[in-house]
Amino acid sequence: MESFNYPWGHNRPFNAYSNYFKQKFGQRLQKLSIDAGFTCPNRDGKISFHGCSFCDNNAFNPSYCEKTKSIYQQIEEGIEFHAWRYKNVKNYLAYFQAYSNTYAPLEILKQRYSEALSHPNVIGLVIGTRPDCISDEILDYLTELQKEYHIIVEYGIESCYDKTLKRINRGHSFAQTVEAIEKTASRGITTGGHIIFGLPGESIEMMQNEAEILSSLPLHSVKFHQLILVKNTPIIKDYQENPNDFVFMKFEQYKEFMIDFLEKLSPNIVIERFAGEVPPRFQAGGSNWELLRNETLVSKIEQRMIERNTYQGRLYKP
């Protein structure tokens, strides 16, 4: 396989996120996670008090992310946190990660985004949110903001199936997800999504079929996660009562599953990550693959794609 076969312009067999940034900005960009003190309509009672059944934000927030600290301080500590690993990184994206980061009045959003953008090394924002927490007013503001900064909005899609969304207490429909993605992308705002593989009631075939569904959306990037059961979350009870409804793949199975999925996925969608990581102290079960680190996981998937002589989008049908 030669690089000219790939529309993404490099010789890796999938449209890799790190390569995308190098091509766009001429350098690596690092995300700095931020807890800006937002909440979620699925936790404050607007929709529910219980949250999504799989969710505990503490399980994926870096140690420097604390809402008691200012956003600027979190950025400073985040730069220091990543400095040993990414010595040549000069510019960063402030990643508003915890909970729903468009769930507040516009004036509050402006204040918190502006504080992040006031840091001299921050050149843009990544805003993680829910499909039901966006409005035309917010999109108007982000459209103006992106004239000067790099703006990415990432939606928690989680599943393309309403039955699953209801079971995990997501609190919105897939139709709302589609509407939010289409409205955001139509403004020219870079739009990403998160998907979880292994949610209760979904078969391997159902998960594979999501490749075609996602490919039909104007998504710029996607982040894949395997379901990891986190301690003290409601999904534990569901698993204990209905263990046969859950598909937990061993890594070798997941590797082949992921490649099969990529073959059907649009080559235009940038792959941000193949799997999630949860610290051992939070884990209660699921697919943790003996703490296989993300870099090793990506390398193994990439090598297997080369062995299979395949690539992202090989079977994609527009």
**Domain count across the chain:** 1
288-307, pLDDT tens digit by residue?
776 678 889 999 999 999 99
Token pair 């900064």 in the structure block, residue: 149
- Is pLDDT larger for residue 5 or for residue 125? 125
Question: Does residue 79 surpass a pLDDT of 80?
Answer: yes
Q: Per the domain annotation, does 19 fall within a domain?
A: yes
Which letter, b or e, does each residue of 6-31 get, where b requires 16 or more Cβ atoms within 10 Å of its Cβ? Answer: bebeeebbbbbbebbbeeeeeeebbb
61-77, pLDDT tens digit by residue?
677 778 889 999 999 99
Q: Per the domain annotation, does 23 fall within a domain?
A: yes
Say what the pTM is: 0.94
DSSP state of 16: B
Which letter, b or e, does each residue of 39-77 get, where b requires 16 or more Cβ atoms within 10 Å of its Cβ? Answer: ebbbbeeebeeebbbbbeeebbbbebbeeebebeebbbb
| Token representation of residue 105 | 């009045």
Question: Does residue 144 surpass a pLDDT of 90?
Answer: yes
Q: Nearest CA to 208 among 234, 247, 170? A: 247
- Residue pair 155/96 in contact (Cβ under 8 Å)? The answer is no
pLDDT at site 290 = 66
Q: Per the domain annotation, does 314 fall within a domain?
A: no
Q: Checking DSSP bridges between strand 190-197 and strand 150-158, what pairing results, if any?
A: parallel
**What is the mean predicted confidence (pLDDT) over 2-23?**
85
Q: Per the domain annotation, does 121 fall within a domain?
A: yes
Across the chain, what does the average pLDDT equal? 92
pLDDT at site 133 = 97
pLDDT at site 140 = 98
Question: Does residue 2 surpass a pLDDT of 70?
Answer: no
Question: Does residue 1 surpass a pLDDT of 60?
Answer: no
Question: Does residue 84 surpass a pLDDT of 80?
Answer: no
Q: Is residue 107 exposed (0-12), middle (13-18) or buried (19+ Cβ within 10 Å)?
A: exposed
CB atoms within 10 A of CB 2: 6
DSSP state of 280: G
**Alpha-carbon dihedral sign for residues 234, 239, 242, 244:** positive
Q: Per the domain annotation, does 315 fall within a domain?
A: no
pLDDT at site 218 = 98
Token pair 């220091």 in the structure block, residue: 80
**What is the mean predicted confidence (pLDDT) over 166-188?**
97
The identity of residue 175, as a single letter, is A
98-132, pLDDT tens digit by residue?
899 999 999 999 999 999 999 999 999 999 999 99
**Least confident window among 52-56, 57-61, 125-129, 278-282:** 57-61
- Is pLDDT larger for residue 280 or for residue 160? 160
Range of the domain at 97: 3-307
248-277, pLDDT tens digit by residue?
999 999 999 999 999 999 999 999 999 988
- Which helix or strand (DSSP H or E) is residue 194 part of? strand 190-197
Question: Does residue 3 surpass a pLDDT of 80?
Answer: no
Q: Per the domain annotation, does 317 fall within a domain?
A: no
Token pair 């090598």 in the structure block, residue: 303
E strand spans, 89-147 = 92-96, 122-129
Question: Does residue 171 surpass a pLDDT of 60?
Answer: yes
Residue 176: CATH number of its domain: 3.20.20
| Token representation of residue 101 | 């980061």
Q: Per the domain annotation, does 191 fall within a domain?
A: yes
Report the chain's C-alpha Rg in angstroms. 19
**Least confident window among 72-81, 119-128, 145-154, 175-184:** 72-81
Which letter, b or e, does each residue of 130-160 get, where b requires 16 or more Cβ atoms within 10 Å of its Cβ? Answer: bbbbbeeebbebbeebbeebbbbbbbbbbbb
Question: Does residue 59 surpass a pLDDT of 70?
Answer: no
- Residue pair 151/142 in contact (Cβ under 8 Å)? The answer is yes
**What is the mean predicted confidence (pLDDT) over 84-107?**
90
Q: Per the domain annotation, does 313 fall within a domain?
A: no
Q: Checking DSSP bridges between strand 228-230 and strand 283-286, what pairing results, if any?
A: antiparallel
- Residue pair 180/191 in contact (Cβ under 8 Å)? The answer is no
DSSP state of 305: H
